[in-house]
Amino acid sequence: MSIEDVDLDGPRPDEVRIRVAASGLCHSDYHFIVGDMPHPLPVVLGHEASGIVEAVGENVRHVKVGDAVVSCISTYCGECTQCQTGHNYRCDDKPARAPAIGEARLSQAGKPVHQFGQLGGFAEEMLIHAHSVSRIPEDMPLDVACLLGCAVLTGVGAAIERAKVRPGDMVAVIGCGGVGLNVIQGARLAGASRIIAVDLNPAKLELAKVFGATDLVAGGDGVVEQVRELTKGGVDYAFEVIGLAPTVRQAFMMLRKGGAAVMVGVPKFGSDISIPAMPFLQQEVSLISSMMGSVPFQVAIPRYAQLYLEGRLNLDSLVSQRIALTDINKGYEQLAAGSVARSVITFEGVGRA
Ligand code: CND
Ligand code: ZN
């Protein structure tokens, strides 16, 4: 990534312009950096941002200038069947929220510049569709609030909204990065009796304890046997939060009868996953997936913010370091090396960040 100036055109009637306060380094952007997923170029990456509304288009009602907001990639149309049945995070008409061809919101020397997820949060300002932002409580600190837009929404939502973990359930979480740690605290909030954290990195396992893990297992071969042993027959829910076929299979293999493996990690574009057929049939287990917390973000983000303000959701320990935009490439090297949970870019003097 290089840091360059671009021109912003808008806001048009349904758009908002945000002064960015903080922006989290999520692994999803990294999939594009290394080419695991294709994207038209040039592109401004970043999708986990908080900031202050600077300008709104004439049709925008739910936020106004000066509001503190968090961005989310789950832009919705509000009119398709998915939106109308309460699943706007699966909106069928998301592309319609993108600017028309030839009308890019961002440009450089007259040439269009793309926005990852129609957002582009690694920047001082974002020009985005109004259905991509949620208002947050006034007293929410913006340098942790940004994490509500992806890591927290995705992780906590996977446990509570998708799996619907119940008090007493046993849970395993494979991959304890920024997203996985939030699956762990989502399961804790839901009352899980055992939460088994699995990661290759011992430091991540220590951190997992802070978020509510009751048992720690070093990743790699033998994980399935260890989890089955610890739980006397397997877990009710196993979450894969890395994006690799072998760990999806591990998640599936550590289920007890009737359990569900939840795929949260983003796989390499075009790759396959496989599961053994006989246990799938005989043990009535499921393999399901969860996108962006499986919940309308404008409902969930303010709720999770409130839980943070009440001391029930830990966002502070997710932030391993606050960095300047100029250190973004180093931040991603550290993410790839597994040495940080989340690095957060902060822009001085915006809101309370
Ligand atoms: P991050 O890189 O912070 O964490 C991944 C963790 O997995 C690290 O702690 C690694 O040490 C660990 N790990 C890697 N390989 C193994 C292994 N074989 N066994 C055990 N542990 C291992 O990533 P993140 O938390 O930011 O994101 C995790 C994934 O979730 C990633 O694929 C991202 O793109 C995806 C995601 C999905 C969604 C969604 O809506 N489904 C939303 N946001 C991100
Ligand atoms: Zn993300």
Instruction: Note the pLDDT tens digit of each residue in 104-117.
Output: 999 999 999 999 99
Atom 36 of ligand 1, residue of closest alpha carbon = 265
Per-residue pLDDT band for 306 (boundaries 50, 70, 90) equals very high
Which of 9-13, 241-245, 314-318, 349-353 has the weakest average pLDDT? 349-353
What pLDDT score was predicted for residue 36?
Answer: 86
Q: Is 292 touching ligand 1 by the criterion CB < 6 Å? A: yes
Which active-site residues does the annotation give?
A: 26, 28, 31, 47, 150
Residue 97 pLDDT > 60: yes
Is residue 210 in some structural domain? yes
d(CA 18, CA 128): 8
Residue 186 and residue 100 share a domain: no
pLDDT digits (tens, 9 = 90+) for 21-66: 999 999 999 999 998 888 999 999 999 999 999 999 999 999 999 9
CB 199 within 8 A of CB 175: yes
Residues 6+ apart with CB under 8 A from 148: 50, 70, 134, 136, 301, 304, 305, 308, 315
In this model, does residue 307 exceed pLDDT 80? yes
Q: How far apart are CA 237 and CA 241, in angstroms?
A: 13
Are residues 47 and 124 located together in one domain of the fold?
yes
Residue 95: predicted pLDDT: 67
Instruction: Work out the pLDDT band at 352, boundaries 50, 70, 90.
Output: low
Residue 92: strand, helix, or coil: coil
Q: Identify whether 298 is part of a domain.
A: no
Ligand 1 atom nearest residue 175's Cα: 7
Average pLDDT, the chain: 95
Residues 163, 256, single domain; the answer is yes
Give whole-number Cα distances, 349 to 21, 86, 124, in Å: 8, 37, 11
Question: Which of 24-33, 94-103, 121-130, 299-308 has the lowest average pLDDT?
Answer: 94-103
In the reported structure, the alpha carbon of residue 175 is separated from the centroid of ligand 1 by a whole-number distance in angstroms of 5
Give the number of domains in the chain: 2
Mean pLDDT of all residues in 76-97: 90
Asked whether the predicted pLDDT for residue 217 surpasses 50, the reply is yes
Give the C-alpha separation, 192 to 129, whole Å.
37
Residue 353 confidence class, pLDDT cut points 50, 70, 90: very low
116 and 161 housed in the same domain: no
Q: Is 198 found in the same domain as 265?
A: yes
Q: In the chain, pLDDT over 90 holds for what percent of residues?
A: 91
Cα of 26 vs centre of ligand 1, distance in Å, is 9
* Coil vs helix vs strand at 109: coil
168 and 218 belong to one structural domain: yes
Test site for ligand 1: of 181, 223, 224, 241, most ligand atoms within 8 A of the Cβ: 241
**79: its two tokens:** 């009119």
293 alpha carbon – ligand 1 mean position (Å): 15
My answer on whether 144 and 177 are in the same domain is no
Quick one: 15 and 92 in the same domain? yes
Claim to verify: residue 243 and residue 334 sit in the same structural domain? no
Task: Judge residue 276's burial from the number of C-beta atoms within 10 Å of its C-beta, 0-12 exposed, 13-18 middle, 19 or more buried.
Answer: exposed
Q: How far apart are CA 228 and CA 243, in angstroms?
A: 22
253-267 pLDDT per residue, tens? 999 999 999 999 999
Q: Taking residues 165-191, report their average pLDDT.
A: 98
What range does the domain containing 94 cover?
7-149+314-346
Is residue 228 domain-resident?
Answer: yes
Q: Is residue 306 part of a domain?
A: no
Q: Is the distance from the beta carbon of residue 73 to the nearest atom of ligand 1 less than 6 Å?
A: no
- For a pLDDT cut of 70, what percent of the chain falls above it? 99
Query: Is residue 352 in some structural domain?
Result: no
What integer is the mean pLDDT of 82-92?
Answer: 95
Mark whether 47 and 163 lie in a shared domain: no
* 302 domain residue, yes or no: no
Helix (H, G, I), strand (E, B) or coil at 204: helix
| pLDDT tens profile 266-296 | 999 899 999 999 999 999 999 999 999 999 9
Same domain assignment for residues 270 and 174: yes
180 in contact with ligand 1, CB cutoff 6 A? yes
In a domain, 178, yes or no: yes
Which strands make up the sheet holding 235-240, listed edge to edge? 215-218, 194-199, 170-174, 235-240, 255-263, 286-289
pLDDT of residue 350: 84
Residue of minimum CA distance from atom 5 in ligand 1? 177
CATH number, position 78: 3.90.180.10
Burial 256-271 (b: 16+ CB within 10 A, else e): beebbbbbbbbbeeee
What does the alpha-carbon distance between residue 217 and residue 226 come to, in Å, rounded to a whole number?
8
Ligand 1 binding pocket includes 107 (Cβ within 6 Å): no
What residues contact 110, with CB distance under 8 A and at least 6 apart?
Answer: none
Task: Report the CATH number at residue 220.
Answer: 3.40.50.720
pLDDT at 339: 84
Whether the pLDDT of residue 100 is over 80: the answer is: no
28 versus 211: the higher-pLDDT residue is 211
136 shares a domain with 91: yes
Residue 301 lies in a domain: no
Give whole-number Cα distances, 270 to 69, 92, 229, 300, in Å: 34, 21, 34, 31
Sign, CA torsion 212/218/224/225: negative
Q: Which pLDDT score is estimated for 338?
A: 87
Q: Quick count: other Cβ atoms within 10 Å of Cβ 251?
A: 33
